[in-house]
Every structure is written in C-alpha cells, then in structure tokens.
Amino acid sequence: MIGINPLDCRRAVAYNNGVAMREALETLKMIQAHDQQVRELQRAIRSYQEHIAKLEEALKAEEERVEQLKSQLSELQQRSRERNAEVDDLDEQLRHYRQQLDHGLLSFKEMEALRHKVTHDQRRMGQLEDEALALMDEMGQEEARLQAEQAALSQLEVQTGQDIKTVESQIAAAEGQISQEQQERVAQVERVPALLLERYQRLARDYADPLVPVVAGSCGGCKLKLSETTLSRLREGLDLIACENCSRILINKGL
Ligand SMILES: [Zn+2]
C-alpha cells in the first residue's frame, strides 16, 4: 500500500466490492431463473399427471359401460330362458288337456271346464310366445350394442395406452430438465456468498421472484415507488439493496 493514495485505495476496494456484488447478483439471477424454470416444469408434470388420470378415468368408464351391458344382456338371456321354459310347460299342459279331451272319460261338465282351460291356456301361450319373441328382439339389439361398445373399448384401450406412453415420455423429459436445472443451480450456488443466498432463500418462501429489477423508479415486484436514497445507493452498486416495502432484492436493469 506504500505510495498509494488512500482515496484511490478506497475506490479500488469499492470497485472490487461493486464488481463482486454485481457478479453475485448476476449469479443469483441465474439461480432464480433455474428455480422459476423448475417450478414451471413441476406444474407441467402435475398437469401431465392429471391428464393421465383423466385418460384412465375415461377408459374405466368405458369398461364399466361394457360390464353393464354384459349384465343387462345376461339378465335378458335369463328372462328369455324362463319365458321359453314357461312356453314349454304350458305346451306340455295343453297336450295333456287335449289327450284328456280326446280319450278321457269325462262328464259333460268336466269337458266344458277343460275346454275352457284349454282356451284360456292357448291365449296365455300366445302372450308368452309374443313376450319370448320381444325378448329375442331386445337381446339382438343389446348384443349389437355390446359388440359396438366392445369394439369401442378395444380401440380406446389401444389409444389410451399410446396417449399415456406419450404423456409419460413428456413427464420423463420434464424430470430430466428439472435435474439438469438443479445440477446447474448447484454449481452456481457455490459462487454466491452464503448470507446472500440465505436471504434469497428466505424471500423465495414468499415470492416466486425474490430478485426484481427497478422499473421507472419503482420496485418491479410490489410496484412501490422507491426513495431517492435507495435509488442512488442502487446506482452506486456497492451494497445489497432491498425494496423498503416488500424486501425483495433490487437489481439494476443493466445487470
Ligand atoms: Zn417491493
């Protein structure tokens, strides 16, 4: 230091401090960019995951539709079997009555009663046969619907599988980007003084942008007009300057 003007010396120290401060803030700005990018990617991953959940839900709904149709069809088949069994029973019954009418040794009164029964059962038989036919029709329609839904389901299964694969690869890409951002961040963190980093981390709990530029004399974060003192200290660039209102770290736009 011998022979050096003390004032020059102070200036030199100030200059060094200013350079160091600017460098630290520049690095911190890159760290903030990484942090914002990571949050953005995490948001994207969440929305990809929601998309996958929706795709799976749609597939499940289609599977349930097919299952419902299957059980409706089997219920119809059951009713149809029952109706056909009733027709067979009644047919058997009628044959028996006719035999009695043809060969039975019956009184006139018994014959009349039996004929009455036959007429009644024949009418009932007609109704049952109509019902059995209607059920067959309904079953045919349900089978066609089931086939169409099953075809739609197989198509949806293939499509959903492909879509999920695509979204999963987008998630993997985003995760890769996040780990890259974090790796770069680790290297940069080492270049920032611990106290400054701590302050940034504290602010980062409340703000997505702990570091803000000054815009037309106001804080770029909370928009409050900054005092002349703050602005001139910021112009000097020797200290860390924070907004008087929100405490965000202020940076010169030229940084
Ligand atoms: Zn502010």
> In angstroms, rounded to a whole number, what is the distance separating the alpha carbons of residues 242 and 255?
16
Residue 135 CA, ligand 1 centroid: distance in Å: 76
pLDDT category, 196, cuts 50, 70, 90?
A: very high
Confidence of residue 71 (pLDDT cuts 50, 70, 90): very high
Q: What is the pLDDT of residue 243?
A: 96
- Residue 138: closest CA among 86, 81, 77, 83: 77
Taking a 5 Å cut-off on Cβ, the residues next to ion ligand 1 are: 219, 221-222, 243, 245-246, 248
> What percent helix, strand, coil does the chain show, rounded to 5?
80, 5, 15
Least confident of 16-30, 82-96, 153-167: 16-30
Whether the Cβ atoms of residue 185 and residue 178 lie closer than 8 Å to each other: no
Predicted confidence (pLDDT) per residue in 117-136, tens digit: 999 999 999 999 999 999 99
Query: How far away, in angstroms, is 215 Cα from ligand 1 center?
Result: 11
Alpha-carbon torsion, ordered 62, 68, 69, 74, to 10 deg: 150
Q: 36 CA distance to ligand 1 centroid (A)? A: 19
Share of the chain above pLDDT 70, in %: 93
Asked if 23 contacts 193 with a C-beta cutoff of 8 angstroms, the reply is no
Two tokens, residue 143? 């089978």
Q: Rounded mean pLDDT of the chain? A: 91
Nearest Cα neighbor of 76 from 126, 141, 128 is 141
Average of per-residue pLDDT across 176-184: 97
- The SS3 assignment for 209 reads coil
**Which amino acid is present at 238?**
L
- Backbone φ, ψ for residue 251 (5° rounding): -130, 150
CB 123 within 8 A of CB 94: no
* Dist. CA 17 → ligand 1 center (Å): 24
pLDDT confidence of residue 204? 96
Summarize pLDDT for 34-47 with one digit per residue, the tens: 999 999 999 999 99
What pLDDT does 65 receive?
96
Question: What is the Å distance from ligand 1's center to 34 Cα?
Answer: 22
Distance 197 CA to ligand 1 centre (A): 19
218 bridge partner residues: 215, 225
Cβ partners under 8 Å of residue 36, min gap 6? 208, 209
Quick one: which of 169, 215, 210, 166 has its CA closest to 192?
A: 210
How many A from CA of 242 to the centre of ligand 1? 8
Q: Give me the amino acid identity at 5.
A: N
Is 83 a residue whose pLDDT tops 80? yes
**How many CB atoms lie under 10 A from the CB of residue 250?**
23
Distance from C-alpha of 45 to C-alpha of 51, rounded to nearest angstrom: 10
Q: What is the DSSP letter of 219?
A: E
pLDDT reported for residue 255: 43
Q: Which domains does the chain have, with CATH numbers?
A: 17-191 (1.10.287.1490), 193-255 (no CATH)
How many angstroms does the Cα of residue 243 sit away from the middle of ligand 1? 5
Q: Supply the pLDDT for residue 16.
A: 63
Ligand 1 centre distance from Cα of residue 42 (Å):
27
Query: How many Cα atoms within 13 Å fall on the side-chain side of residue 128?
Result: 19
Tokens of 158: 């293939």
When pLDDT is cut at 50, 70 and 90, the band that residue 239 belongs to is: confident
Give 15-28 pLDDT, tens digit per residue.
Answer: 566 788 888 999 99
pLDDT in tens, 58-70: 999 999 999 999 9
Instruction: Calculate how far, in angstroms, residue 216's C-alpha sits from the geometric centre of ligand 1.
Output: 13
In this predicted structure, what is the pLDDT of residue 237?
83
